[in-house]
Amino acid sequence: MNTSDRVKNIYKLLYKKYGPQSWWPGDSQLECILGAILTQNTSWLNVEKAIGNLKSLDLISIEKLTLLTTNELAQLIRSSGYFNQKAIKIKNFLAFISESYEGSLEKMFEEEVGELRNKLLQIKGIGPETTDCIILYGGNKPTFVVDVYTYRILSRHGLVPEQTSYNEMQELFIDSLTVDTQMFNEYHALLVRVGKEHCKRSKPICAGCPLENDPHTV
DNA sequence: CACCAGGCAAGTA
DNA sequence: TACTTGCATGGT
């Protein structure tokens, strides 16, 4: 089996085992975007509490968030960790959308995907993974999200070298699969699901993992 | 107690 | 270019 076939097969195995994951958890585009920033190197449980604070005060709105000071916002998202930095990141995003799209997410997502991706990457605090989460889960547009679990799974199965890059991993998926927004959505969600259960940092061997019969290098 | 979580940018050499 | 470090709460 070549590399592309293995990439397709991993999706099949995971989907067969776990079924659809119904991502992103969140009721609105803006909530997805906030979650994408807040979950940087942070467990989702801590993010939920922060989003819960914003929701309970009915603050999930570009205008209302813009009115908060950075420090007020930071206190509300405390539970998500790195809260001072993340408050600045959210403010940077709000400034971007206000300046470039008159504060309209709808206008922002009218941009061509590659173009929007490049612009989001310019925002300080929004890196490649957060950018792709915003586009895929916030905008429902086709791009592939790579995260630490993706890296562990690909490298431990010998599909990418130990020293690889975000773009190299992303291209592997995009070149191996047909472009399908819903499938890209499920695939990343499934990688996170299996990663959480079977692919922790300190445990390279995955007993009981649905991918355990796929060739490993570790 | 130690370790980890759905990253990113800035600093150093 | 290629490492290293800071950011920080909360669950296991």
Average pLDDT over residues A13-39: 97
pLDDT digits (tens, 9 = 90+) for A163-217: 999 999 999 999 999 999 999 999 999 999 999 999 887 766 677 889 988 888 7
The CA–C1' separation of A37 and C8, in angstroms, is 15
Q: What is the pLDDT of residue A107?
A: 98
- DSSP code per residue over A3-49: HHHHHHHHHHHHHHHH----PPPSSSHHHHHHHHHHTTTS-HHHHHH
Tokens encoding A90: 């959210």
pLDDT digits (tens, 9 = 90+) for A44-57: 999 999 999 999 99
Nucleotide nearest A42 (Cα, C1'): B5
Sign of the CA dihedral running A147, A30, A14, A210:
positive
Do residues A92 and A82 lie in contact, with contact meaning Cβ atoms separated by under 8 Å? no
Q: What is the pLDDT of residue A203?
A: 65
Q: What is the pLDDT of residue A205?
A: 64
Q: Which of A166, A137, A138 is nearest to A151 (CA)?
A: A166
Nucleotide nearest A131 (Cα, C1'): B7
Distance between CA atoms of residues A189 and A145, nearest Å: 9
The CA–C1' separation of A40 and B8, in angstroms, is 8
Q: What is the pLDDT of residue A216?
A: 84
pLDDT digits (tens, 9 = 90+) for A80-135: 999 999 999 999 999 999 999 999 999 999 999 999 999 999 999 999 999 999 99
Q: What is the pLDDT of residue A218?
A: 65
